[in-house]
């Protein structure tokens, strides 16, 4: 009976990424199942406060080239008792469209205190936090952090993921020495494995020589 209960909870609690991904894309779990994930836009834990269009399953999808590069990053981190944790990877255009629609509804500020306390919502476009096109939609951009496998906790990066503000700039000065070291650890291991950083967000990296540099996809994550 206990085994049966366990199996029921297992299948209810864990999503199965079993459909064949779009041509040229893979599930990261099929390449390296040790990489952790927390797909924020599948849940309410994001800057909008609602699940985002196009996110239908807890699966991390990327181009095959990106997955293989992330596997190399993970191997380096595992040697140190650490692991990658991915918040977002491939993002369908319908999700980006959802962001754009939300940004235009100025009275919807449900998550302002947590994600953009010092930025007027009407300036999110102007300051580059929201855009009509995203590198994520090309399939070779990832948002991620590092966790300590002993504690299963994220390393302290000095600002939360998806925080809209200068505190998220990789070289922001008003954080502790340890927080700076953690950011640079993530940055260096990604740079070493052929990723280029985004200068406004410590968590955002794109594979160099990405396979679809000018193509934006819209298939759902399922």
Q: State the pLDDT at residue 15.
A: 57
Three-state SS at 108: coil
Residues belonging to the active site: 201
| Fold observed for domain 27-207 | Muramoyl-pentapeptide Carboxypeptidase; domain 2 (3.30.1380)
| pLDDT given for residue 17 in this prediction | 83
Residue 209 neighbours by CB distance under 10 Å: 9
- What is the pLDDT tens value at each position of the chain, 222 positions in all? 444 443 443 344 455 786 788 899 999 999 999 999 999 999 999 999 999 999 999 999 999 999 999 999 999 999 999 999 999 999 999 999 999 999 999 999 999 999 999 999 999 999 999 999 999 999 999 999 999 999 999 999 999 999 999 999 999 999 999 999 999 999 999 999 999 999 999 999 999 999 999 999 999 999
Note the pLDDT of residue 55: 98
90 Cβ contact list (under 8 Å, min separation 6): 25, 60, 61, 62, 63, 136, 137, 139, 217, 221
C-alpha distance from residue 94 to each of 87, 99, 121, 123, 221 (Å): 18, 9, 21, 22, 11
The helix/strand count (H/E) of the chain reads as 6, 8
Q: Spell out the domain ranges in the chain.
A: 27-207
Answer yes or no: are the C-beta atoms of 158 and 179 closer than 8 Å.
Answer: yes
**pTM for this predicted structure:** 0.92
């Amino acid at each position: 009976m206990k085994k049966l209960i366990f199996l029921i909870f297992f299948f209810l609690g864990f999503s199965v990424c079993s459909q064949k991904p779009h041509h040229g894309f893979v599930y990261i779990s099929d390449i390296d199942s040790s990489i952790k994930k927390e797909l924020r836009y599948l849940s309410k834990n994001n800057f909008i406060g609602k699940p985002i269009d196009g996110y239908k399953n807890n699966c991390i999808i990327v181009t095959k080239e990106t997955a293989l590069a992330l596997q190399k990053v993970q191997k380096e981190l595992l040697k140190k008792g650490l692991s990658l944790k991915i918040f977002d990877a491939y993002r369908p255009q319908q999700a980006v469209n959802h962001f754009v629609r939300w940004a235009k509804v100025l009275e919807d500020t449900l998550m302002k205190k947590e994600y953009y306390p010092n930025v007027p919502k009407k300036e999110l476009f102007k300051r580059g936090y929201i855009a009509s096109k995203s590198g994520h939609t090309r399939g070779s951009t990832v948002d991620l952090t590092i966790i300590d496998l002993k504690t299963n906790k994220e390393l302290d990066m000095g600002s939360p993921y998806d925080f809209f503000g200068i505190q998220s700039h990789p070289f922001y000065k008003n954080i502790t020495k340890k927080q700076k070291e953690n950011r640079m650890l993530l940055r260096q291991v990604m740079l070493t494995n052929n990723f280029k950083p985004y200068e406004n967000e410590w968590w955002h990296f794109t594979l160099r020589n990405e396979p679809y540099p000018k193509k934006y996809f819209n298939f759902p994550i399922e």
